[in-house]
Homo-oligomer: A and B are copies of this chain.
Amino acid sequence: MTEVVIGIDIGGTNTEIGIVTGSGECLVKSSMRTDAYFDAKLFVEEIARNINEMLSNYPGSNFSGIGIGAPNGNFFKGTIEYAPNLKWRGVVHLVEMMKNHFKVPILLTNDANAAAMGEMIYGGAKNMKNFVLITLGTGLGSGFVVNGELLYGHDGFAGEFGHINAFPNGRLCGCGRLGCLETYCSASGITKTVIELLGNTEESSVLRNLRADEISSKLIYEAALKGDTIALKAFDFTCRVLGTKLADIVAITSPEAIFLFGGLAGAKEFIFSLTKKYMEESLLSIFKNKVKILPSVLPQNNAAILGAAALIKNM
């Protein structure tokens, strides 16, 4: 019998379900719309139906648990709480609802924590006990691993690096406050930076040919590859803000490495060395030249599922 676990990645638009082997291979995946289900109970029923159908194709496998990554997921309570990008309001007791369908261990955490766990179990942090994983997607998520364990804190919500303050009275964040780091260091943050730079300077840029709502981190990356000054300045600013704040979390948690993951981290040549440079400039001397900034080595298309599955693997 092959031991397998189910990894589920719940996103605002889609939910992906995968069967993962002990060595971290994703045997098969299926996808369903998250936003089609206004009722979480129906959503869970559809997940259960999907899992059972997938497992029926692998009769020789022993199914030992379900790991779930979700925005605003709480590991301690098995809940999704007040997730701004999901249609379900308030507190959703997802693990409890799943337990009506399956008798195996079911664990849930937030998506960035799941990604950190995936990196530790299957990826580049296999031999690390203290590291940070940062997802630079639409927002900025983070998972902190301390002494080989995810840092959940007292109430399960630790690791909100995206919501530390970068600039007093800065940009309005989705959380309702001003100046959160993720309004600068994320795919949407760099887009805002470009729009600001286009407004504040006279420099020529291919990005001037676009409407504000057409500008994306992908187009900024393509412009930077061609040497576009505004795009390059936007990457420089993003990395400076990120590097400076990484120096602060190094002072607090002293990680061995910081992994950058997600869409914006794909712009490797404009992100890694610059962020490292600005971080080193800001580090307390006892931390200088010690902390690596690394790309995630998980396959981008399966990373979230592997991370969710890793929760069970790490039990």
Interface residues of A (CB under 8 A from B): 72, 81-82, 128-131, 144, 146-147, 149, 151-161, 163-165, 168, 175-177, 244, 247-249, 251-256, 282, 284-287, 290-291
Contacts and interface: CB of A to CB of B under 8 A. Distances in A.
14 contacts: A72-B286, A130-B154, A147-B147, A154-B290, A156-B254, A157-B287, A159-B252, A160-B284, A160-B286, A161-B252, A163-B251, A164-B248, A165-B282, A252-B253
Contact of A247 (B82, B144, B165, B287): B165
Contacts of A128: 154
A251 B160 contact: yes
B164 A251 contact: yes
Contacts of A154: 128-131, 254-256, 290-291
Contact of A252 (B82, B149, B252): B252
A251 B254 CA distance: 17
Nearest to A286: B157
A249 B165 CA distance: 10
A129 B149 CA distance: 14
Contacts of A177: 282, 284
Contacts of A131: 154
B255 A163 contact: no
A252 B164 contact: yes
A146 to B, nearest CB: 5
B175 A253 contact: no
